[in-house]
Amino acid sequence: VKRRFNGNEQTKRAYRAIGSLDEVLAHDAFGKDLGEYADLPEILERNQHELYAESLVNPIQYLNRPEGYVPNTLHIGRGRQLIFLTGPNSGGKTSSSTGAQHAQILFQAGGYVPAKKAKMTIADHVYNQVVEPNDLLDEEGGLGSQLRRSKEILFGCSPHSFIVVDDLNEATTFEEKM
């Protein structure tokens, strides 16, 4: 395709403009799909990362099951550098944290955020650490992989980074976890 359209600069600009228009239309369609849970957030200027989302939804889960989804309100930051989200299994912790990451990335792309109202800062990095099944099979095991990834994140982050660590102490065996 690149060879075929390797024409003049005017043609290249036209194709870039069409691609940009496609992006804007996709963001608009996504916002319409979210309905009442679509907001163009306010940009906050803070000395560290902050995210406020009223009635935040995980867009993937919400769009697949809008009638049964329970939104959550999150306020991450406010002078705190570390927040723990706890609760029972299947209580929505992973869904909420994933929804917050989706919101951050969509916000930084200039799109609608899956919440009724949102305010946030621009993050210099967005990190996500989750247990991956293939980590359990490598030489260092699941816990070793998670600790290595945690080290990479902690050495690469700043006060303006947004980091989600889901199940930090997951391991291959019960003994390793303990």
pLDDT in tens, 37-51: 999 999 999 988 999
Q: Which helix (H) or strand (E) holds 94?
A: helix 93-108
Average pLDDT, the chain: 83
Least confident segment among 106-115, 128-137, 143-152: 128-137
> Residue 35 phi/psi, 5° resolution?
60, -120
For residue 16, what is the enclosing H or E element? helix 9-34
Strand partners, 126: 162
Q: Which among 126, 119, 99 is positioned nearest to 39, based on CA atoms?
A: 119
Its pTM surpasses 0.75: yes
176 has pLDDT over 60: no
CA distance 76 to 145: 27
pLDDT of residue 30: 92
Rounded Cα distance, 116 and 136, in Å: 39
Highest mean pLDDT among 27-41, 117-131, 164-178: 27-41
pLDDT recorded at residue 83 = 72
Which residue reads 């959550």 in tokens? 72
Q: Is 119 strand, coil or helix?
A: strand
CB atoms within 10 A of CB 113: 29
Distance linking the first and last C-alpha atoms of the chain:
54
